C-alpha cells in the first residue's frame, strides 16, 4: 500500500502553469498504480496544452494496454503522446513548436519502473541520501557528461533550461527507462525543474526528513522553492509506503 500526495504551483514569476500532474494509487491498465509529471513548453497556451495532452494520452493508452512489461507499456504510451502532440501542432499555427517533458513511474512488489523524456526528475530519497534516478536530457547535462563544465557551473548556467529531448519536439521520441529496487524507508519524489532549479538536492532531502507528514513535506518543498525565487512552475509527487508512518 502506498501513501501519496501531489501538488502543482504557478510559482512567483510565471503568468500560467504549464505543468501537469497525474497521480493514481489505484490500478491503471496492467500497472498497479501510475504517476506522471509533465512540464510543457511553447508560446501562449501551447505549453500547458502540450503537458495536459501528453499526460491524458499516456493515461488513456496505459489504461487500454494489455502489455505486461511496464517499461514497454510506458514506451508505447509516450510514443502515442508524441504522435498526438505532433498532429495537433501541425493543424494549428498557434500550437507550432509545442512539446513537454514527461517523467512517469509505477511501483509494486519492491520495484519501481520509470520512464523519462526531458529534464523533469525522479529521485529516491531515504534518511541518509538522495539519488537522482533519471538523467536530464538537457544541453548543460550533456556538457557535464563530456567534462566541458562542472556540476556547480551547470546549476547556474544561463542555458540550463535548454532541453535536448521533449515529447512532441520531433516525429519520433526516445525515452529513457529505469528499473529500481526499493529498500525499506525509500521515498520517491517526482518533480519539474521549477523545484530543482530552486533547491539543491541536499536541501530537498533535509526538507523531506524534517517535515512531519507527506502533505507537509510537499508543501514545504513548494514553499521553499518559491522563497528561493519561484522562477518557474513547481510540481511534485511524493510516494511513500504506508509502513513509513
Condensed to tens digits (0 to 9), the pLDDT of residues 84-137 reads 999 999 989 899 999 999 999 999 889 999 999 999 999 999 989 999 999 999
State yes or no: pLDDT of 244 exceeds 70: no
Greater confidence, 224 or 44?
224
The CA-based diameter of the chain, rounded to the nearest angstrom, is 50
How many Å apart are CA 243 and CA 216, to the nearest integer? 18
What are 191-210's pLDDT values in tens digits?
Answer: 999 999 999 999 999 999 99
Mean pLDDT on 154-182: 89
What are 3-20's pLDDT values in tens digits?
Answer: 999 999 999 999 999 999
Q: Which residues, 6+ apart, have CB-to-CB distance to 223 below 8 Å?
A: none
Mean pLDDT on 17-42: 97
Sheet containing 2-9: order of strands? 2-9, 234-241, 187-191, 121-125, 130-132
Amino acid at each position: 500500500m502506498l501513501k501519496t500526495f501531489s501538488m502543482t504551483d504557478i510559482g512567483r514569476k510565471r503568468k500560467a502553469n504549464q505543468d501537469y500532474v497525474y497521480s493514481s494509487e489505484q490500478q491503471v491498465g496492467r500497472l498497479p498504480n501510475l504517476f506522471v509529471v509533465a512540464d510543457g513548453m511553447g508560446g501562449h497556451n501551447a505549453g500547458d496544452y502540450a503537458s495536459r495532452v501528453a499526460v491524458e494520452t499516456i493515461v488513456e493508452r496505459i489504461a487500454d494496454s494489455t502489455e505486461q512489461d511496464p517499461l514497454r507499456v510506458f514506451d508505447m504510451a509516450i510514443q502515442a503522446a508524441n504522435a498526438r502532440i505532433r498532429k495537433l501542432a501541425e493543424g494549428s499555427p498557434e500550437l507550432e513548436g509545442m512539446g513537454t517533458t514527461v517523467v512517469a513511474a509505477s511501483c509494486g512488489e519492491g520495484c519501481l519502473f520509470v520512464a523519462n523524456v526531458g529534464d523533469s526528475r525522479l529521485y529516491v530519497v531515504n534518511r541518509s541520501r538522495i539519488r537522482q534516478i533519471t538523467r536530464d536530457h538537457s544541453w548543460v547535462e550533456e556538457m557535464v557528461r563530456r567534462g566541458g563544465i562542472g556540476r556547480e557551473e551547470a546549476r547556474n548556467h544561463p542555458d540550463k533550461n535548454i532541453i535536448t529531448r521533449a515529447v512532441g519536439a520531433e516525429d519520433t521520441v526516445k525515452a529513457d527507462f529505469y528499473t529500481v529496487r526499493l529498500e525499506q524507508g525509500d521515498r520517491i519524489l517526482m518533480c519539474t525543474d521549477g523545484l530543482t532549479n530552486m533547491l539543491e538536492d541536499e536541501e530537498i532531502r533535509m526538507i523531506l526528513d524534517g517535515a512531519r507528514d507527506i502533505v507537509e513535506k510537499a508543501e514545504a518543498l513548494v514553499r521553499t522553492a518559491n522563497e528561493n525565487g519561484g522562477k518557474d512552475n513547481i510540481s511534485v509527487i511524493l510516494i511513500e509506503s504506508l509502513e513509513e508512518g
